[in-house]
Structure 1
Amino acid sequence: MISPAIPENELDRLESLHQLNILDSLPEEAYDTITELASYICDTPIAVINIIDSERNWFKSAFGTDLAGSSRDVSFCGHTILEPTVLLEVPNASKDARFKDNPFVTSETPINYYAGVSLLDYKGLPMGTLCVYDSNEHQLNEKQKTALKALGKQVEILLETRRKNNVLENLKRELDDNNKILREFASTVSHDLKMPLANMILTADILKVKYSGSMDEEGLNYINYLKQSGLTLSDYINGLLDHYANNKADIGKVEEFFLNDMLEDIIDLLQIAENCEINLPDNNLKIVGNTAAIGQIFMNLLSNSLKYNNQERIIIEIDCTENRDFFNFTISDNGIGIPEGKQSGIFDLFTTVAEKDRRGKKGHGIGLSTVKNIVESLGGSINLTSKEHEGTCFEFSIKRYNKLD
């Protein structure tokens, strides 16, 4: 018997193999179907998908045998991967110098026939083999060889799909971990900054009241600038806290309310100017849902429609329809609109529509990202249509609850 040699690219091969994370994995129907087909097409009692590790052959799928693998130094497949582009066929192993003393050949239930094709990764490195065995001398015809190679290609596709899925899962896990760290960091920093900021704003007010008589106009402007900067940073921090607090809204807290009643309360909070016309839906729908979450969505969208509007008369239209599964809402305005190039990323965190809003303030790009998180946590989706200088329409849906929990 001649034990198979170690390929020159063994280290690279093993690194690629371990990235598959397939060794000792559970059986899968997709692989088992292929070994059954290989046995049938090649007219052999045994077919195996074999993964070759550093010291062992492990059977990902085996048809016609209860074996789970073997030692690599007595394997047929170890020889196959030495010429990974060639189908290795051994018509009678007892007459082949490489295998005649092999324990599988000399056993009470001997293997005398073997044919195998290498299973290559995207770099051409062999991960293992698809092979067939028989206790009797055997030989494949050309059609059977072609079919065995074709089935091997199907196994390669399964393996590479697994590899890509592993990469995606690892990226998702890393992203989730990074997001968790960012949420904790943002929450900690934001909370730690809120009190010093509140003190700074309060101190600015005290300075203005107590020393305004002894300050010139430039000094008072500095005080006002200090306070305004503090308020801007406070809004930014509150926005971050809202964004991460609502990353997964508590959709379990549902209650019954009328849409227009909620909208009127929001309009009162926003202190709408006389030059603004907000038209509510004609049908005051009864909604069963999370009032706080839905209210925050409308608060953010209405606030944006007011801030990013340069018309002398601001007009905002709100509508709502319902079907069996969802409530569907629209909010449209006659504001500045969103340039086409910014629309695809408008819901990304820290993405802003314009340099400054109606009052000359720069936005932080947190509100719409928060809105998207809340909408999706409520089982819905959100999108927009907009034309620059003509206005924007946001459409969003939320999953419908037919009764209170």
Structure 2
Amino acid sequence: MGSGENAIYAKVSRRLVPFLFLCYVVAYLDRVNVGFAKLQMQADLHFSDTVYGLGAGIFFIGYFLFEVPSNLLLTKTGARIWIARIMVTWGLISSAMLFVDNAATFYLLRFLLGVAEAGFFPGIILYLTYWYPAQRRARIVALFMSAVAVAGIVGGPLSGWIMQAFAGRAGLAGWQWLFLLEGLPSVLVGVWTLYYLDDGIRAAAWLTEEEKSVLERGIAAEARGKPAMKLGQVFSSARVWLLALVYFCFVMGLYGVSFWLPQLIKSTGVKDVLDVGLLTAIPYTVAALTMVLVARHSDRTGERRWHTAWSAVAGCAGLIVSTIYADDTVIAMVALSVGTAGILSTLPLFWSLPTALLTGTAAAAGIAMINSIGNLAGFASPYLVGAIKDATHSTATGMYLLAASLLLGGMLVVCAVKRAQPDLAVEPA
């Protein structure tokens, strides 16, 4: 590939990736800040670990039910308007979490938050297929998804500070201020989306006609190499269901870390809520660097499955070791860093598989279906860990369950998922 083409893609990346990254940071923060709120909220409202786990996970029921319709609506209305709508509504609902005073309102608002956010992540993954061909996509998705890690880096200390510094102000508890102050940025960025994003290459006024032609040829060439699949076939495709199962296994690990990491760190003997927040930044910092480096290497070599599988193995090993040494803060933090890096590295590598196989409306439905089914693990994971903790008074068994899920996902990728395309290697842009 020529340097001129690489320069065009670099221009697209400078325009899109930082903004989409910001969108995902605020999205993920609003999705998982309930994990930090738990440190105060659970005692204030007298919630058991089972109630907390169910409330944290019920988000994904609403997410599951509305994911595919949301992504199909995105193809009808355009990415700019639909993504803006998603962000504004979830920001308002996230802020409204400050009004939770019993289990019923906790469940209701978490469910509505899932409904509001449904379609955001698969919508962005679909949106990136409008701009980048498959051989360039893993590193771009990794840069976008490193927002998950950065949300942990920023969100941990920020959440800890908010709950400590604002506790009692205006008659609100620290966890209430947490939901309010971390929900409002989503509303503001959602409004900004209306003015910043373009629906696709042709609508981008910041590109020349020649640049648009180069990008459109790349997308058209990739589309010709994909098998045609009607919308109805997506829901009966064994390949799509297999990919959904693999993603379910990886998401089990992801939300095990996302929702329980503050509690796991606290259980090692760290008591101060701000210290817990600061320490959560360490695993996410390691993960942010690792996932981009692994995805870059995968793009350069054109190999997807083994990169994904070994990342899953690292995630599995990290959870197991952190559980065995749960009373040793240093060893547990090292293990959690390895585990978090492995878990997060599986995600952008995984998404290079379905986006290399699907196109058009089938891509919108297929990506949303895989993501919605996979994210049911976001319901199962915190609920199971919470229920197990209530029954055994320990998170150990729950962590072993999540580790086994990651290992299964890695094995399925190697043994059952055929390589999407024979040659995905690309020169670095």
TM over 0.5: no
Q: Which has the larger radius of gyration?
A: 1
Report the TM-score range of the alignment, normalised by the length of the smaller protein: under 0.3
**Higher percent of residues as helix:** 2
Question: Which structure has the higher relative contact order (CA within 8 Å, separation 6+)?
Answer: 2
**Higher percent of residues as strand:** 1
Q: TM-score, normalised by structure 2?
A: 0.21
Q: TM-score, normalised by structure 1?
A: 0.22
